A and B are shown apart, each in its own frame.
Chain A
Amino acid sequence: MTDLRLAGRPAYFGAKVARVEDDRLLTGRASFVADVRLPDMVEMAMVRSLFAHATISVDLDAVRAADGVVDAVSASDLTDVGVYPDFITYMQPVKATVLATDKVRYVGAPIAAVVGEDRYRAEDGVELVEVEYGELPAVTTADAALADGAPKLFDHWPDNRIVNLPLELEDVEEVFRTHRVVSGRYATHRHSGVPMETRGCAAEYRHGRLTLWTATQSPHIVRTTLSYVLPIAERDIRVVAPDVGGGFGTKTHIYPEEVLVCWLAMRLGRPVRWIEDRTEHLVATNHAREHTLELEAAIDDDGTIAAVRCHLLHDVGSAEIFMPGICPTFVAGSHVAGAYRIPLAQNSYTQYVTNKTPSGAYRGFGAPEAYFAVERLVEKIAKEVAVDPIELRRKMLLDDGDLPYTTATGGIIDSGSFRASFERAVELGRKAEAKRRSEHDDDGSRIGFGVATYLEGTTPTYFGTTGHWTSHDSATVRIEPDGSAVVSVGVTTTGQGTTTMVAVLTADALGIPIESVRVEIGDTDSCPYGLGGWGSRSTVAGGGAILKAAGQVRDKVLRIAGHLLETDPADLEIEGGRVHVAGSPDHSVSIGDVGTAAWVRTVDLPRDEDPGLEVTATYDPPLLEHFADERGRMNGAAVWANATHAAVVKVDLQTGVVDILDYVVVHDCGPVLNPPILEGQVHGGVAQEIGGVLYEHFPYTEEGQPLATTFMDYLIPSATEVPDIVVEHFESPSPNMPLGLKGAGEGGCLGPPAALSNAICNALEEFDVDITELPLTPAVIRSKIRAGRGDA
């Protein structure tokens, strides 16, 4: 196998390279899915359930007769559309349909689709659809869903449990019998990715070919899924992800509207587009989090943890989503031993359905929930054994000498800077804290300091999430006759700078200027089969494929150049788009000369060399495991990054408002490919989860009515809520990954729940505040202060 390396000394890798995607986005010339306009195109609008749980019958007579309405369909019309397959064997089968058949299970569930000459008329049509609801009792909480005799969402299940995996390991139980136990119940709330671009899609059916433009993170997986449910062969489907305005996990799922616009385009012979509005987005795009971790630690006298035992509960909403929303819980389970030397762990899982929007993927994918629990419990242990929580962490953190280390949950840790990054974050955070305390002269507020430290699994298995796929990705690298290069990849971008990453690796792996590289991304017709952009995987899995393909192209370039220069290829170097004899830069040919020989002047090729200069390679990261062992252990992520966050907050005692004064992240994802892009990822992840901790929430009434359906109720942090974030890097390369790289897209999300909670508890020390639930709204903080004062 070609080794996965660059051509020589990199020109771009590690440098502050400007993003190749920026100019288009800055000038208004980008093409998002809402900018796709096709001749004769019509628009779809959705009829959605107004009730959380109800039988339905639908009457489309009035809407079908209306002016400006082209078509209207309900489930009974979709006779040749299949149900989403259930591949995962350890969950109850959902058998989700594209449109609700006999009943609806959440407010926002799709019931019917109306096609109008334009969006205004499609929405007029929605008003004319008559839906008769037979209201059923709804369940919206764990207690209600899991109660004996609770109303069931799915008649073919025994109860509302979609996953029920208890586990009892004798050695773990024995440790708990013989040790002091400290425990807590840590609940995160329902919130989600909420990208600035809502979902949307447009389909066209021409000459027997179906093309779908969709705001997705995974075009090939959309294509394969469409082939499962639509009566059309996969070869005849093309899926294009144009510019996508943020995803954060929400756009990994394959949604009913994507199937509907395709089916309608085939039925009508006209292109059909659907653009989600924001109110729809907040009820019909997946929600996330809402995990409760009942976490127990068996501790030694000094507080160090001998074993952890966790019962993970997850409210998955109605579960009518593909890919299923159950997987973040297992990822949470895989992180319960933290970045610590904890020898034993045991996880049990209870996931249940409720009459709420389906839960699914969101940046961090279970890990923020896990670290909220782990890093709060460490604080609680420290308090109980009366040691400094920073000291307790120092005793338990993994050390360089421990490597390679297999965590109690099966994670294979091959590198990292657990202690160094921790100490640096504590140092920077303490310095900031001291400054704030010295300047603080306000009796009505308190300053607090908190940290959270973590290991983060990146580039995860997709088998765990879907019951299909592993974590491979693909790249095709081609050098054209003029020496310019095209790279097409199966990873995708939703704004993270992936296109620039692809260009940098290709240029440096071929030894050519970045300006001569064109990147093809997000189109199943021009890109080889890959799994897309999610799970902090693109640089590792996509990078591996690019380096593999480019390496084989490079070898061929050297062979051809050696022939042209009448030199042994082993004596050649590639640099700046030229191939020259080592130590003799003047004795050279250009990459264009080689490309011309490969494709055009093929008479100049060596006798045994085939024409062409193009290689497609796939890469599946090593070490990744797809099945858990009998102890529930599995290395579900190819490579693990680490970081420590430190926060300094000010809490107003009267209003309960939390101000984040300082926020420090010391982060280690191996070699830094592009410093500004990496820092931007950290900033964005932290900002999103600051929103999650302090502002964002999808509350429901007991009847299952959603209470956050506009941006007036679902509060995304603005520039005045997010502080400047200080980011520093350590660079511990993985010995097992291409160029030592690790994923970085999600890490920022993992720290804020615990770091902010710990800082707030520290600020409110005199009130003996414990934080076990999120979000931390001013009302919640005020009530904790009142309780601490004894005037609750």
Chain B
Amino acid sequence: MQPVTEPVESLEVTLTVNGTTVTKRAPVRKLLSDFIREDLGLTGTHVGCEHGVCGACTILLDGEPVRSCIMFAVQADGREVTTVEGITPPQGLSPLQQAFKDHHGLQCGFCTPGFLMTITGVNPDDYPDEESIRHMLAGNLCRCTGYQNIVKAVQAAWGRPTA
């Protein structure tokens, strides 16, 4: 993106989305979450609060989990974005998705893509036990499950006992 020296309504952004380079014009005030959902058509990223608390809109930006509802699309220029569609294999489920299914780690599923992205973006070694896993998950709100089965799903996906 060229340096911006005066107020503009929109800018052209180029970013890598799930491995593919995309160039699109975006209003400068457009949230990254809305851009992903509306302009890129990737509706797996959900919007739950639009003020950066609930974590439903979590994506990976250059591999790190971030909340796409408190960023502008133009801030993603030149960056690499991964959404839930990007961690889904062409057929079937990824091991993490399968672990959520096996352990009933989702009910309504609205918050689920956000959880999946947060978990995908962390290093399991940094979360060696249940307590640390719960801290890792604490930035994503779920209203259905009570979290117990999400914790189990994480443990299963990371090859740990789920007792």
* Chain A residues with a Cβ under 8 A of chain B: 18-19, 21-32, 34-35, 37, 119-120, 193-198, 243-246, 248, 277-279, 494-497, 676-677, 679-680, 683-684, 686-688, 710-712, 716, 718-720, 722, 724-725
- Least CB separation from A493: chain B residue: B108
Check A687 against B147 for contact (C-beta < 8 Å).
yes
Task: Indicate if B76 sits at the interface (CB-CB under 8 A).
Answer: no
Could you show 13 A-B contacts with beta carbons less than 8 Å apart?
Answer: A23-B93, A28-B45, A28-B83, A30-B109, A31-B43, A32-B46, A197-B110, A246-B108, A680-B146, A687-B145, A687-B146, A711-B53, A722-B147
Check A677 against B143 for contact (C-beta < 8 Å).
no
- Least CB separation from B151: chain A residue: A719
Check B146 against A25 for contact (C-beta < 8 Å).
no
Task: Indicate if B17 sits at the interface (CB-CB under 8 A).
Answer: no
Check A278 against B50 for contact (C-beta < 8 Å).
yes
Rounded to whole angstroms, the CA-CA distance of A34 and B46 in the bound complex is: 9
Q: Which residues of B contact A26 (CB under 8 A)?
A: 88, 93, 97, 100-101, 106, 109, 112, 116
Q: Which of B27, B107, B112, B116 has the most CB of A within 10 A?
A: B107
- Least CB separation from B104: chain A residue: A676
Q: Which residues of A contact B88 (CB under 8 A)?
A: 26-28
Q: Which residues of B contact A277 (CB under 8 A)?
A: 50
- Least CB separation from A710: chain B residue: B51
Q: For chain B residues 43-58, which have a beta carbon within 8 Å of chain A?
A: 43-51, 53-54, 56
Rounded to whole angstroms, the CA-CA distance of A37 and B148 in the bound complex is: 35
What's the least CB distance linking A267 to chain B, in Å? Answer: 24
- Are A27 and B44 also in contact (CB < 8 A) when A120-B29, A725-B146 are? yes
What's the least CB distance linking B43 to chain A, in Å? Answer: 4
Check B134 against A719 for contact (C-beta < 8 Å).
yes
Check B142 against A720 for contact (C-beta < 8 Å).
no
Task: Indicate if B150 sits at the interface (CB-CB under 8 A).
Answer: yes
What's the least CB distance linking B111 to chain A, in Å? Answer: 5
Q: Which residues of A contact B83 (CB under 8 A)?
A: 28
Query: Given known contacts A24-B109, A32-B46, A710-B51, what 15 new A-B pairs fall within 8 Å (CB)?
Result: A21-B109, A22-B101, A23-B101, A26-B109, A28-B43, A31-B43, A120-B30, A196-B110, A278-B51, A676-B104, A687-B146, A716-B141, A719-B135, A719-B137, A720-B135
Check B142 against A196 for contact (C-beta < 8 Å).
yes
Dominant SS at the B interface?
loop
Task: Indicate if B85 sits at the interface (CB-CB under 8 A).
Answer: yes
Q: Which residues of A contact B100 (CB under 8 A)?
A: 22, 26
* Chain B residues with a Cβ under 8 A of chain A: 27, 29-30, 34, 37-38, 42-51, 53-54, 56, 83-85, 88, 93, 97, 100-104, 106-113, 116, 133-135, 137-151
Q: How many cross-chain pairs have Cβ atoms below 8 Å apart between A and B? A: 172
Q: Which residues of B contact A497 (CB under 8 A)?
A: 107
Rounded to whole angstroms, the CA-CA distance of A194 and B144 in the bound complex is: 10
- Least CB separation from A193: chain B residue: B143
- Least CB separation from A25: chain B residue: B109
Rounded to whole angstroms, the CA-CA distance of A472 and B95 in the bound complex is: 41
- Are A27 and B144 also in contact (CB < 8 A) when A195-B108, A243-B109, A712-B53 are? no
What's the least CB distance linking A489 to chain B, in Å? Answer: 18
Check B106 against A25 for contact (C-beta < 8 Å).
yes
Rounded to whole angstroms, the CA-CA distance of A590 and B27 in the bound complex is: 59
Check B54 against A196 for contact (C-beta < 8 Å).
yes
Q: Which residues of A contact B107 (CB under 8 A)?
A: 246, 495-497, 680, 684
Rounded to whole angstroms, the CA-CA distance of A50 and B134 in the bound complex is: 39
Check B138 against A680 for contact (C-beta < 8 Å).
no
Pick from B29, B84, B139: contact of A28, CB below 8 A: B84
Check A248 against B143 for contact (C-beta < 8 Å).
yes
Rounded to whole angstroms, the CA-CA distance of A27 and B30 in the bound complex is: 25
Q: Which residues of A contact B43 (CB under 8 A)?
A: 28, 31-32, 34-35
Check A722 against B93 for contact (C-beta < 8 Å).
no
Rounded to whole angstroms, the CA-CA distance of A277 and B53 in the bound complex is: 13
What's the least CB distance linking B144 to chain A, in Å? Answer: 5
Pick from B56, B108, B134: contact of A494, CB below 8 A: B108
- Least CB separation from A194: chain B residue: B143
Rounded to whole angstroms, the CA-CA distance of A23 and B91 in the bound complex is: 11
Q: Which residues of B contact A279 (CB under 8 A)?
A: 51
What's the least CB distance linking A186 to chain B, in Å? Answer: 25
Rounded to whole angstroms, the CA-CA distance of A250 and B151 in the bound complex is: 27
Q: Which residues of B contact A712 (CB under 8 A)?
A: 51, 53
Check B54 against A495 for contact (C-beta < 8 Å).
no
Rounded to whole angstroms, the CA-CA distance of A278 and B97 in the bound complex is: 27
Q: Which residues of B contact A195 (CB under 8 A)?
A: 108, 110, 143
What's the least CB distance linking B115 to chain A, in Å? Answer: 10
Rounded to whole angstroms, the CA-CA distance of A25 and B88 in the bound complex is: 11
Q: Which residues of A contact B50 (CB under 8 A)?
A: 277-278
Q: Which residues of A contact B27 (CB under 8 A)?
A: 120
Q: Which residues of A contact B103 (CB under 8 A)?
A: 676
Pick from B37, B38, B137: contact of A718, CB below 8 A: B137
Q: Which residues of A contact B47 (CB under 8 A)?
A: 34
Q: Which residues of B contact A194 (CB under 8 A)?
A: 143
Q: Which residues of B contact A711 (CB under 8 A)?
A: 49, 51, 53-54, 141
Q: Which residues of A contact B145 (CB under 8 A)?
A: 680, 683-684, 687
Q: Which residues of A contact B133 (CB under 8 A)?
A: 719
What's the least CB distance linking A120 to chain B, in Å? Answer: 7
Check B108 against A28 for contact (C-beta < 8 Å).
no
Q: Which residues of A contact B49 (CB under 8 A)?
A: 278, 710-711
Q: Which residues of B contact A684 (CB under 8 A)?
A: 107, 143-146
What's the least CB distance linking A678 to chain B, in Å? Answer: 10
Check B148 against A722 for contact (C-beta < 8 Å).
yes
Check A710 against B53 for contact (C-beta < 8 Å).
yes
Rounded to whole angstroms, the CA-CA distance of A695 and B142 in the bound complex is: 15
Rounded to whole angstroms, the CA-CA distance of A604 and B84 in the bound complex is: 51
Pick from B101, B110, B138, B140: contact of A245, CB below 8 A: B110
Rounded to whole angstroms, the CA-CA distance of A716 and B29 in the bound complex is: 29
Q: Which of A243, A246, A496 has the most CB of B within 10 A?
A: A246
Q: Which residues of A contact B109 (CB under 8 A)?
A: 21-22, 24-26, 30, 243, 245, 495
Pick from A243, A680, A716: contact of B143, CB below 8 A: A716
- Are A688 and B138 also in contact (CB < 8 A) when A28-B113, A495-B107 are? no
- Are A724 and B148 also in contact (CB < 8 A) when A28-B44, A711-B53, A718-B141 are? yes
What's the least CB distance linking A684 to chain B, in Å? Answer: 5
- Least CB separation from B27: chain A residue: A120
What's the least CB distance linking A199 to chain B, in Å? Answer: 12
Rounded to whole angstroms, the CA-CA distance of A35 and B48 in the bound complex is: 13
- Least CB separation from A687: chain B residue: B146
Check A680 against B42 for contact (C-beta < 8 Å).
no
Rounded to whole angstroms, the CA-CA distance of A686 and B30 in the bound complex is: 38
Rounded to whole angstroms, the CA-CA distance of A710 and B146 in the bound complex is: 21
Q: Which residues of B contact A34 (CB under 8 A)?
A: 37, 43, 46-47
Check A683 against B53 for contact (C-beta < 8 Å).
no
Q: Which residues of A contact B148 (CB under 8 A)?
A: 683, 722, 724-725
Q: Which residues of A contact B151 (CB under 8 A)?
A: 719, 724
Q: Which residues of B contact A30 (CB under 8 A)?
A: 44, 109
Rounded to whole angstroms, the CA-CA distance of A385 and B137 in the bound complex is: 47
Q: Which residues of B contact A22 (CB under 8 A)?
A: 100-101, 106, 109
Rounded to whole angstroms, the CA-CA distance of A684 and B27 in the bound complex is: 40
Q: Which residues of B contact A716 (CB under 8 A)?
A: 54, 141, 143
